[in-house]
């Protein structure tokens, strides 16, 4: 790779960042390096820790590699570290904690993969060069020898980082055959680091995308989540779609390329959904800020229209409709997220947001009654803030006047929600009578009748707002009479 003057400047700046970051954690790193050197062993900061140091964002979770074998590592950190754990020792890794820093120290590896189960035959190596060549990408195949602060970069990782290029130390075919998950990791790094994959990496991903089927759903889900939480998830997703990885992981996303959105303002629903994702990310901090990226919101933004291909209908006169695509999409989102082994909470929250994302469009110019506003809040429940962001993000029209009108209309809805919430405490909408009062008034035993009565009173509460106690009792008695229940006198 030819290195330009600007890239050389970037590399020098990266080296300064790395030195500054190492100085920040030097008490722990230097003490550890001294212990290993005194015992006749070499210790290197390695992999993602070096990459992050070069980028000026080294965390307190540090990765090291060494020629010392696992039992020697244990002996060297015992009595020095505040805590030591050996859950990864069969793979050559010993964990430790010292001074608020989490350390993972791994013996040089020289693994051989069987390329069927992807399980490695764990083998320890003797050189840093042999260890680095088996790593996933050149940006992660750098090391710093800690006793001298010497960079070890046999595969041009620093130049690749300065050029914002993602490449592999060995050939990408070898790397991806060892672990097909590295293809998805490539898309994740594109999203996290905003780098561009080398042509040979993209070609190998296209040729080998089907190999990803060998990887467990749990590992795939972990990489997908990291991708979505990156600073540029659209780029990572586009790489997945372009290379065929998405056909294995999220086939519904490339499937959206088949459906033209009903406003004809975007090339297809796929591009619209990526735009909604970007706008939802912008709203994470500009509209009721959150402290960190929101996986549930981002998944809902990406998947909110996945029901459109299955509901597309060409109408007389050239129009296109997608009736009930939110219902179909919610079911599809639930099925896909379950297959990816997401938690029950994430599955439920994302599918509910997909289901609700169109509800606002019935609001018109404020024609909803207060009852309809209450139901909107009640159905959204704890997802209301996310629903606000999703609905706002779903406005991708290029017509500025129309976009401004939609935002003003939603401003009006939020203002009404705030007003009614202040008057009626919408976050805790409950019937005006509790279960014990229902039992006493109706003179019944606890059971299904009480549940039905409670549900009816809640519907009345949503429709009419708070009732005083006498009104609530009268309503319960009316309901009981309609059900053929003779209330206690």
Tokens (6 digits) for 217: 């759903």
Q: What span, in angstroms and rounded, lies between the C-alpha atoms of 445 and 337?
A: 41
In contact, 88 and 47? CB cutoff 8 Å: no
Sequence-ordered list of residues with C-beta below 8 angstroms from that of 368, at least 6 positions apart, any chain: 362, 376, 413, 416
Q: Does the pLDDT at position 428 exceed 60?
A: no
* Longest distance between any two alpha carbons in the chain, whole Å: 92
Region 315-337: mean pLDDT is 86
CATH topology for the 5-163 domain: Beta Polymerase; domain 2 (3.30.460)
Q: pLDDT tens across 142-200, in order?
A: 999 988 888 899 999 988 888 899 999 999 999 999 899 999 999 999 999 889 999 99
Task: Quote the CA–CA distance of 430 and 447 in Å, as a whole number.
Answer: 19
For residues 281 and 276, what is the distance between their CA atoms, to the nearest angstrom?
9
pLDDT-derived band at 423 (thresholds 50, 70, 90) equals low
CB within 8 Å of 316: residues ≥ 6 apart: none
Where are the chain's structural domains? Answer: 5-163, 286-427, 430-482
Name the residue with tokens 């050149």.
138
**Distance in angstroms (rounded) separating the CA atoms of residues 308 and 304:** 9
* C-alpha span between 424 and 421 (Å, rounded): 5
What the block records as the tokens of 87 is 């859950």
- pLDDT (0 to 100) of residue 259: 52
Closest CA to 186 of 177, 171, 196: 196
How high is the pLDDT of residue 260? 53
DSSP state of 11: H
pTM recorded for the entire structure: 0.79
Question: What residues contact residue 268 under an 8 Å CB cut-off, 6+ apart?
Answer: 256, 257, 258, 259, 260, 261
pLDDT at residue 427 in the model: 52
Q: Show the tokens assigned to 396.
A: 């991708």
Give yes or no for residue 235 having a pLDDT over 80: yes
Q: Sign of the CA dihedral 69, 74, 79, 81?
A: positive
The pLDDT of residue 114 is above 90: no
How confident is the model over 245-263, as a mean pLDDT?
82
Q: What is the pLDDT of residue 194?
A: 87
Confidence of residue 237 (pLDDT cuts 50, 70, 90): very high
% of the chain at pLDDT higher than 70: 86
* Crossing angle (nearest 10°) for helices 344-356 and 370-380: 150
CA angle 452, 455, 458 (to 5 degrees): 150
Q: For residue 75, what are the contacts with CB-CB under 8 A and spacing of at least 6?
A: none
Q: Are 19 and 28 in contact (CB under 8 A)?
A: no
Cα angle vertex 216, ends 134, 155, to 5°?
15
pLDDT of res. 330: 96
What's the mean per-residue pLDDT of the chain?
85
Beta-carbon count within 10 A of 79 CB = 8
What are the contacts of 260-268 at 24+ separation with CB within 8 A?
Answer: 260/320, 261/305, 261/308, 262/319, 262/320, 262/321, 262/322, 263/397, 265/396, 265/397, 265/398, 265/399, 266/396
Residue-level pLDDT at 424: 59
């Amino acid at each position: 790779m030819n290195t330009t003057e600007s890239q050389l400047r970037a590399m020098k700046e990266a080296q300064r960042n790395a030195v500054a970051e190492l100085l920040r954690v030097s008490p722990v790193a230097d003490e550890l390096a001294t212990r290993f050197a005194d015992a006749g062993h070499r210790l290197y900061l390695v992999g993602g820790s070096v990459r992050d140091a070069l980028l000026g964002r080294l965390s307190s979770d540090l990765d090291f590699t060494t020629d010392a074998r696992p039992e020697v590592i244990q002996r060297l950190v015992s009595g020095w570290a505040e805590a030591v754990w050996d859950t990864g020792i069969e793979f050559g890794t010993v964990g430790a904690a010292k001074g608020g820093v989490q350390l993972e120290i791994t013996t040089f590896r020289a693994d051989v993969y069987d390329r069927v189960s992807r399980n490695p035959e764990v083998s320890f190596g003797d050189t840093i060069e042999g260890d680095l060549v088996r790593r996933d990408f050149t940006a992660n195949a750098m090391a710093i020898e800690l006793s001298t602060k010497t960079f070890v970069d046999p595969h041009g990782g620093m130049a690749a980082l300065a050029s914002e290029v993602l490449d592999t130390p060995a050939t990408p075919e070898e790397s991806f055959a060892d672990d097909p998950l590295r293809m998805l990791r490539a898309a994740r790094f594109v999203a996290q680091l905003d780098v561009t994959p080398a042509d040979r990496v993209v070609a190998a991903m296209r040729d080998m995308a089907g190999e990803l089927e060998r990887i467990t759903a749990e590992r795939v889900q972990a990489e997908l989540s990291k991708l979505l939480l990156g600073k540029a998830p659209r780029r990572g997703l586009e790489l997945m779609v372009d290379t065929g990885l998405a056909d294995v992981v999220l086939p519904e996303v490339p499937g959206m390329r088949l459906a033209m959105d009903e406003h004809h303002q975007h090339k297809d629903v796929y591009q619209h959904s990526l735009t909604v994702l970007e706008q939802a990310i912008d709203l994470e901090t500009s509209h009721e800020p959150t402290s960190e990226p929101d996986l549930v919101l981002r998944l809902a933004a990406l998947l909110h229209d996945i029901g459109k291909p299955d509901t597309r209908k060409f109408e007389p006169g050239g129009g296109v409709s997608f009736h009930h695509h939110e219902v179909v999409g919610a079911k599809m989102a639930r099925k896909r997220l379950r297959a990816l082994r997401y938690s029950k909470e994430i599955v439920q929250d994302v599918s509910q947001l997909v289901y609700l994302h169109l509800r606002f469009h019935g609001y018109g110019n404020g024609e909803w009654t207060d009852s309809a506003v209450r139901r909107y809040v009640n159905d959204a429940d704890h997802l209301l803030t996310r629903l606000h962001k999703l609905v706002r993000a779903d406005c991708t029209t290029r017509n500025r006047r129309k976009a401004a009108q939609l935002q003003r209309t939603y401003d009006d809805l939020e203002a009404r929600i705030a007003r009614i919430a202040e008057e009626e405490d919408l976050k805790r909408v409950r019937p005006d009578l509790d279960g014990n009062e229902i039992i006493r008034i109706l003179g019944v035993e606890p059971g299904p009748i009480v549940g039905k009565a409670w549900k009816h009173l809640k519907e009345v509460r949503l429709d009419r707002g708070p009732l005083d106690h006498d009104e609530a009792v009268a309503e319960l008695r009316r309901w009981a009479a309609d059900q053929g229940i003779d209330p206690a006198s």
